[in-house]
Amino acid sequence: MGSPYDRLAADYDRRWAAYNQRSLALLRARVADRRMGDVLDLGCGTANLLPRLAEWGARFDRYVGVDVSMEMLLAARPKLASTSIPAALADADAEALPFPAASFDTVVSASVLHDVPSPARALTEARRVLRPGGRLLLVDWSPQRLTMRALNLALWLSGEPFRRLYTLAELTALVAAAGFQVTHTERRAINWLWELMVIEAVRD
């Protein structure tokens, strides 16, 4: 059985270009010119993060993107072909990652956790595959703005692939409960509709 995102893959980069650019830009201050080591992109979609890491001067040794949508992964392949950094893709669930413990230095989750059935389980898996001192970087939708609450309701009614939105306090608590030390949180509007939140945390 395929992912609900399979049907969106062919048009995803064009349809969501502005959102992807602005939402991923929230990570720039956290990765630009910094050492990231081995990077796991959790729910990578079409791997839009990969070219931005290179553009921002992030120093990373390896990129691995995982997603439950095979069509999204197929659409991501050209981005991997255009980089000289070792890069790979895997069909995998965020709640059951197919990697040994302590495999990565950085885990990035961008606009993913609102679609995950159990964010707590996904965060526990993220901690498991991180090396001690490794970083978790999260971007997700914030329901604390009226327009976002309306979007939350519209998506719930539409049947689009979507679970629920978490407040910054809720998501911060989930991250801490998974065994991370939270080092940075913020909420930021990227346009009149979308407000997102950013969390940076370190594996204890």
CATH number of the structural domain spanning residue 68 = 3.40.50.150
d(CA 153, CA 157): 6
Dihedral sign of CA atoms 198, 89, 38, 78 in order? negative
The answer to whether residue 4 scores a pLDDT higher than 80 is no
Percent of the chain with pLDDT over 90: 80
d(CA 12, CA 44): 12
Kindly report, residue by residue over 45-92, the tens digit of the pLDDT: 999 999 999 999 999 999 999 999 999 999 999 999 988 899 999 999
Question: φ and ψ at 90, to 5 degrees?
Answer: -145, 135
The answer to whether residue 116 scores a pLDDT higher than 80 is yes
Domain that holds residue 27: 4-203
Looking at the structure of the chain, the number of domains it has is: 1
pTM for this predicted structure:
0.94
Kindly report, residue by residue over 11-34, the tens digit of the pLDDT: 999 999 999 999 999 999 999 999
